[in-house]
Structure 1
Amino acid sequence: MLEIKLLTPESAKPYQTFTYQSFRKGIIDSAISPEIRPIVIGASFMGNPVGLVVAGCDRKGATANVVSIFVQKSFRNMGIGTALMNHLLDHLRSEKFLKVTIQYYELDHIQVLEKVLKKSGWKTPQLYSRYYRLELKKLVGFRWMDRMKLPSSYRLVSWGEVSKEEREQVKNLNEVGYRSYYDPSENEKAVVDTCSYFLKEKDTIIGWSIVERHLEDTLLYRVLYVREAYRDKGLGLVLAAKTAHGALESRIPHGVIQIVAANERMQKIYKRIIEPLSPVITPYRTCEKDLSS
């Protein structure tokens, strides 16, 4: 008999392998504060685990984010995924959550997830960004990298040459197009110093390119940002060229670049720089559901 219920850290232990490695410890850790403890819903058949949905939550902000949903292969196409999602949504409403979101990569078989979202009343998923994966060796001999010259009034400095205090000064800028994701100190521990640069006019930071490393063989170009007053001067291309040189010197074979779909300037850079390198493209979608009504 199928049973779907809210799991405690103790009862979630048999379900650990049903979610990503990065979440497995969190769903069974009873020491995590109740304010931020993930919400975990499990499905079992005859007492055996067959499915799981996990949502991270911000109870103060009354928002939740679905981070994983899984049903064992032999139990798919039975409506269990939709039942798990609906149980989660009902629980969130009972806990006075106002909104729930989900973000996901458009990989193989993603239509199964999108069918669950549609059946449980979510809005139509929207394209947020695309990830472009490429072989960095293709940059060798790419002439644009050496043609980009920096005007004399500006200078480029590496990540390590800029103090934490200086980086704090450009945090949460009130500028057109700025998102908190662009913060140069967003994930300091993963930053690759030899590929990440700040652009300065005298002692003022006016732009930056941040590269992170989360996998041994891959660099993630997390952000390239030029401050509002300095845009449309070709400075973003100079930052991109310097970053590309740093990536080549790193000897790491692959690079991944995320470009937000609404970022028109980066779309132009993509056309000029990235598209000729024939990258593998993975769309990244976002979806939300209003729980307040």
Structure 2
Amino acid sequence: MTADTRGGDLTARRARLLVLEIARRYFGETPRRLAQRGGGLTNMVFEFRVRDGEFVVRLHSRAGQINGYLKEQWAMVQARRVGVPTPEVLEVDNEAVGLPYMVSRKVDGIDAAHHPRRVELLAELGALAARLHGVHTQGFGNNFDWSSNQLSRNANWGDYLADELCVGERLATLARHRMLKPAQTQTLLGAIDTMRRWRRAPVLHHGDLRLKNLIVAPDSGRVRALIDWDNCRSAPAPHWDLSVALHDLNVDQKESFLRGYGISPADYAEALPFMRAINTLNYAPAIEALAREKDHTRLAWYRVRLRGMFDLYP
């Protein structure tokens, strides 16, 4: 181990040294090619090539992130068992370099957001979501079957809303910045009150079912993998995943995804108030950040968005 690889901030230079150490440890050679593919202040993503193939390494400066990597690893194994293609995770550890890391095989292809068959691919993504929601779980939120911890596990959806999602704080944020009309607030409170009483069984959710996380063949558009499982969680189906998946889509794209998922118009209408509630609550952290920055212009536009003023239907 070189002196530069332990201690200090996770700079790009230090991260490269760590990845070289990981490659030599597991593959017995220095990579022929090493390239950074993403990252920020606390995490880095690299690709490298050795004789055994091409691999991806994710590193994180926070020791607790090893739990996040273990959660992703468990979720991807379960997803593949029900026919959802994912990257193959080969190792999750922190021993080799003193920081949490995940090593997986690289999946060749492009993200589906850049493929001309986007509408059809959304139907395929919806079908994959339906398969994924066939994975039954225990516990609600981020702590479920992947972990043997019991004391921090939410026993029901109401506990998750109160203790992990912190619904009370999010509602206070929305109210403080006047994001909703009074009638919307009452509808939101009603949906939350209903969800608190749910006793529905949880299933595995990906947490970010957007085309950018679907890797496909550049020419045929054949699906190769669903990636980026860091937001996966345990929740009743289908509300959480659909609230995220539908958010950025136009009406034709929404319909394609929902047809692929296999939900009927009547069942979609029944689920819609709860998807709207989850979507609205998930805006609260971004709104709080804008308020701290005193970005009143963007706050005003968020108010327009959440009050439904972008909808072009009566």
Flag the structure with higher helix content. 2
Task: Tell which has more relative contact order, 1 or 2 (C-alpha 8 A, sep 6+).
Answer: 1
Q: Which has the larger radius of gyration?
A: 1
Flag the structure with higher strand content. 1
TM-score normalised by L of structure 1: 0.28
